[in-house]
Amino acid sequence: MDFQPTSVGASAAEFASKAILDPSGGVQADNDDVSDGGSPVAAVDFGEAADSDRKQRRVHHHKRHLSRSSSAVDYAPGNALINELGNPDNMFVTENGTVVTSQIGGTAILPCATVKPGTATVSWMRRIDYTILTIGTRSYSSDKRFYVDHTRHLKTWNLEITPVEASDAGLYECRIATHPTTSNFVHLKVTEARAEILGSPDLYIMSGSSLRLVCRLQGSTQAPLFVFWYHSDRMINFDTDRGLVVHINSTESDLIMPYTNTSDSGNYTCQPQNISPATIHVHVLQSEVPAAMQHGVRSSTSGSFAISNCAMFTIIYMLLQMLS
């Protein structure tokens, strides 16, 4: 079967010119087209309420299936080619012009769901270089990061890319081998997620005080499975013997150390899964005030010098003595 690139706009126009309205309000393919070898799968009846209801249910199940994706999905068209073609509603459940956003190192799921299973072959093409990626469930790319996840009862032919690279961004075409070829387009946007530690690059605290570092996840499209914290080159997530605690959620991770001494000085690195790490240099200064009199100090976004309340009162007392 020949899968050479075709003009999608011309194919849509050719289909429209061959379509005729029947008395019931449906759309059927011209008989001449079928007799010439065209596929009758192009004939779709829009007049029956039952078919419309079934399609709405398939859209609901399809979107619920995509909600498990690590990618952000936007169904608003954003490409001139997509807008020109319009939505090939007669063949696809997936909205034409769907925009998927995924981060580098993550998994992108490009949706493609058909109305009817039929016998026509579904394939995926990368439009930037017209590379055929998959035909049916078989991969035709030497890049093993591309494969099709086909769910028969949902009639989905989703293209999965893992791990995502920056060069994967662009327009992808899901096509059904009808006569003429019917296509649906998905635009993939790729972002680079990064970590940011509040108070970086330097934080000063007094020995004996507590330490809390907050690592924010910027530009992430999926929650990391793990966030590792390092002191210099040593991972410290499990240093529970000294009371260290690490909290993780979808947007940030906290490192809490209830008591510090000068040996805790050094670089602290937040390394989430598939996200660029962040580092802060913590300076733990020797305090002349007994540790039992000090209160914990939280990390500051300004990175300025942090001092205990007790030490501040001591300085004020000494100044008053000098003035008296």
pLDDT, tens digit, for every residue of 56-66? 555 454 555 45
The domains of the chain, with CATH numbers, are 49-191 (2.60.40.10), 194-323 (2.60.40.10)
The identity of residue 191, as a single letter, is T
Among 293, 298, 297, 296, CA closest to 310: 293
DSSP for 157-179, written as a single string: EEEEESS--GGG-EEEEEEE--S
Tokens of 16: 């429209």
A 10 A CB-CB count for 303 gives 16
Is-contact 44 115, C-beta < 8 A?
Answer: yes
DSSP 8-state secondary structure symbol assigned to residue 95: P
Q: What is the pTM of this model?
A: 0.62
> Which of 37-46, 47-56, 197-206 tops mean pLDDT?
197-206
DSSP 8-state secondary structure symbol assigned to residue 44: B
The pLDDT of residue 50:
47
The pLDDT of residue 181:
86
DSSP for 243-280, written as a single string: T-EEEE-SSEEEEEES---GGG-EEEEEEETTSB-EEE
What is the mean pLDDT of the segment spanning 134-155?
92
Is-contact 296 218, C-beta < 8 A?
Answer: no
Mode of pairing for the β-strands spanning 227-231 and 202-206: unpaired
Does residue 301 register a pLDDT over 60? no
Separation between Cα atoms, residue 87 and residue 76, nearest integer Å = 11
Continuous H helices in the chain: 8-18, 31-35, 49-66, 80-85, 309-323
Q: What is the pLDDT of residues 81-112, one digit of tens each?
A: 444 444 444 789 999 999 999 999 999 999 99
Does residue 36 register a pLDDT over 60? no
pLDDT band (50, 70, 90) for residue 321: low
pLDDT band (50, 70, 90) for residue 244: very high
The pLDDT of residue 179:
84
Separation between Cα atoms, residue 204 and residue 108, nearest integer Å = 41
The pLDDT of residue 116:
75
pLDDT band (50, 70, 90) for residue 289: low
3-class DSSP assignment, residue 93: coil
Q: What is the pLDDT of residues 114-138, one digit of tens each?
A: 987 667 899 999 999 999 999 999 9
Residue 193 burial (C-beta neighbours within 10 Å; 0-12, 13-18, 19+): buried
